Copies of this chain bind each other. A is one copy, B any other.
Amino acid sequence: MTSPLAQEAQSLLARLFPICRSITGEGVRQSLAILSGTAPWQVKEYASGTKVFDWTVPNEWTVRDAWIADESGNRIVDFQQSNLHLVSYSAPVKAKLSFAELDAHLHSLPNLPDAIPYRTSYYKENWGFCLTQKQRDGLDRSASYDVVVDTELKPGSLSLADAVLPGTSGQEFLISTYCCHPSMANDNLSGPVVATLLLKALATRPKLRHSWRFVVLPETIGAITYLAQHQAEMQASAGGFVVTTCGGPGPLGIKRSFLGDHLLDRAVDIAFRDAHIKPVIYPFVPDGSDERQYSSPGFRIPVTTISKDKYYEYLYYHTSLDDLDFVKGEALEKSYDLYLAAIDVIEENRTLRSLTPHCEVQLGRRGLYPQSGGALNQKAGTAGATAIENEVDVISWVMFLADGQHDLISMAERSGCRFQDIVTVAAKLESHGLLEEIPD
């Protein structure tokens, strides 16, 4: 039984998969157009040559065709078969080459003989082909080969999309993902799919506490371009998520923010705890994805990642085996649920102050206490805690901590109570006039 969300995720993934994306070009534009059909993304273009901090927006890359043919004219490696065959940003070439000359431009994986690897050469003019080890082993070392790379690199623009959902708190959080890899499912289509579904979900809410800025952009150069073009807004960011590699069959994980114990880290921990899932913890390191840019000294935006088969960690990473068999809607939904739970922890977090801070409140006359005393909390002789006993436990914690210095997140952490139970009880106590919210 697949849920509607899982079906929608899988369908979106399948539409995006065949497109040949790179850091610029038509593939990115087509992908952004598909995503914009699902959620309110705003596409933006930045012209080649634009200076963005230490970098420059590159020329736009177009592939018309690329192949290697044997002496009989058979296309033995063909971009039309898989867009991974061509090293991304390859410069044009048309030549007849000896095996040795060709071999210097080939990439394959001896330990995964059926996989085509993914390679790029964005900032160094070069060309190359990726092929399976089996293909490579089958080449005739005494033959010559016709090589055609029919590409073009010329001024154009870098495409990305964003969406800002306004909230009332004055705080803005970030959800960032990237869309520059060709036909691979976990790295990186899982990110845009989950981020787009999160955007769709939040965009339909009548009211948000915080502003949420979503961005989908080419990794590295796209994030740098976006930061350079939105410097003030981004420096004010309260933190966020880099959504990536969250659709594999393997373990769920958390990559920590550079702070390690930021509100974001804590919200994610609560989401996992309350879902009874023990994640693999990846401490912050300054590699990986666009946290490299967001965390840089000039921005210091704490970002965390929820992953399922994190980049670097799975065998098929950056190969043609990271395909539609590897990533399924159900796995994407698991990550989506955890992201949404963490977002909700942040959205529903607030700080309350007791209006009856002296001693306990009398729960009984407000209908909040079991009617027969003496047995509450009794371990021996009872058949286990009842729902109202559990609620009394949550009430005790909330009222004890409601000194205006504990937010609901810290209440959930200290008490061990489920965050949603804390939220529910806090609202009930507020409705009884026992608590008041402290403005952010």
Instruction: List the interface of chain A (C-beta within 8 A of B).
Output: 52-55, 87-88, 107, 109-112, 115, 117-124, 126, 128, 220, 223-224, 227-228, 231, 258, 285-287, 292-293, 295-300, 312-319, 354, 356-362, 364-365, 369, 371-375, 377-381, 393, 396-397, 399-400, 402-403
- In the complex, the count of this chain's copies comes to 3
Query: Is B372 in contact with A312, judged by CB distance below 8 angstroms?
Result: no
Query: Is B119 in contact with A297, judged by CB distance below 8 angstroms?
Result: no
Query: Is B112 in contact with A380, judged by CB distance below 8 angstroms?
Result: yes
Greatest chain B CB density within 10 A among A112, A299, A381 is at: A381
Instruction: Offer 5 A-B interface pairs, CB within 8 angstroms, sorted by A.
Output: A53-B358, A118-B374, A120-B372, A124-B364, A286-B400
Q: Knowing A286-B396, A357-B298 are in contact, say whether A117-B379 is a contact too (CB < 8 A).
A: no
CA–CA, A368 and B261, complex, Å: 32
Query: Is B227 in contact with A312, judged by CB distance below 8 angstroms?
Result: no
Greatest chain B CB density within 10 A among A118, A119, A297 is at: A297
Query: Is A357 in contact with B296, judged by CB distance below 8 angstroms?
Result: yes
- A220's nearest neighbour on chain B, judged by CB, is B360
Find chain B residues with CB under 8 A from A354 CB.
Answer: 297-298
Query: Is B374 in contact with A223, judged by CB distance below 8 angstroms?
Result: no
Find chain B residues with CB under 8 A from A287 CB.
Answer: 377, 393, 396
Query: Is A297 in contact with B403, judged by CB distance below 8 angstroms?
Result: yes
Find chain B residues with CB under 8 A from A364 CB.
Answer: 122-124
CA–CA, A52 and B292, complex, Å: 58
A232 → chain B closest CB, angstroms = 12
Query: Is B315 in contact with A117, judged by CB distance below 8 angstroms?
Result: no
CA–CA, A316 and B380, complex, Å: 8
- A314's nearest neighbour on chain B, judged by CB, is B380
Find chain B residues with CB under 8 A from A118 CB.
Answer: 374
CA–CA, A327 and B65, complex, Å: 74
Find chain B residues with CB under 8 A from A285 CB.
Answer: 396-397
A40 → chain B closest CB, angstroms = 27
Query: Is B379 in contact with A317, judged by CB distance below 8 angstroms?
Result: yes
Greatest chain B CB density within 10 A among A115, A123, A371 is at: A123
CA–CA, A400 and B126, complex, Å: 29
Query: Is B378 in contact with A318, judged by CB distance below 8 angstroms?
Result: yes
Q: Knowing A121-B372, A121-B373 are in contact, say whether A359-B227 is a contact too (CB < 8 A).
A: yes
A13 → chain B closest CB, angstroms = 21
Query: Is B318 in contact with A400, judged by CB distance below 8 angstroms?
Result: no
Query: Is B295 in contact with A400, judged by CB distance below 8 angstroms?
Result: yes
Find chain B residues with CB under 8 A from A122 CB.
Answer: 364, 373
**Among candidates B111, B360, B381, residue contacting A112 with C-beta atoms closer than 8 Å:** B381
CA–CA, A440 and B209, complex, Å: 44
Query: Is A121 in contact with B371, judged by CB distance below 8 angstroms?
Result: yes
CA–CA, A292 and B360, complex, Å: 7
**Among candidates B88, B224, B372, residue contacting A360 with C-beta atoms closer than 8 Å:** B224
CA–CA, A53 and B434, complex, Å: 13
Query: Is B374 in contact with A120, judged by CB distance below 8 angstroms?
Result: yes
Greatest chain B CB density within 10 A among A117, A316, A397 is at: A117
Q: Knowing A295-B400, A297-B400, A397-B286 are in contact, say whether A380-B317 is a contact too (CB < 8 A).
A: yes
**Among candidates B109, B359, B380, B397, residue contacting A296 with C-beta atoms closer than 8 Å:** B359
Find chain B residues with CB under 8 A from A319 CB.
Answer: 380-381
Find chain B residues with CB under 8 A from A54 CB.
Answer: 356, 358-362
Find chain B residues with CB under 8 A from A313 CB.
Answer: 379
Find chain B residues with CB under 8 A from A292 CB.
Answer: 359-360, 396, 400
Find chain B residues with CB under 8 A from A374 CB.
Answer: 88, 117-120, 318
CA–CA, A312 and B119, complex, Å: 61
Find chain B residues with CB under 8 A from A369 CB.
Answer: 123
Query: Is A312 in contact with B378, judged by CB distance below 8 angstroms?
Result: yes
Query: Is A372 in contact with B402, judged by CB distance below 8 angstroms?
Result: no
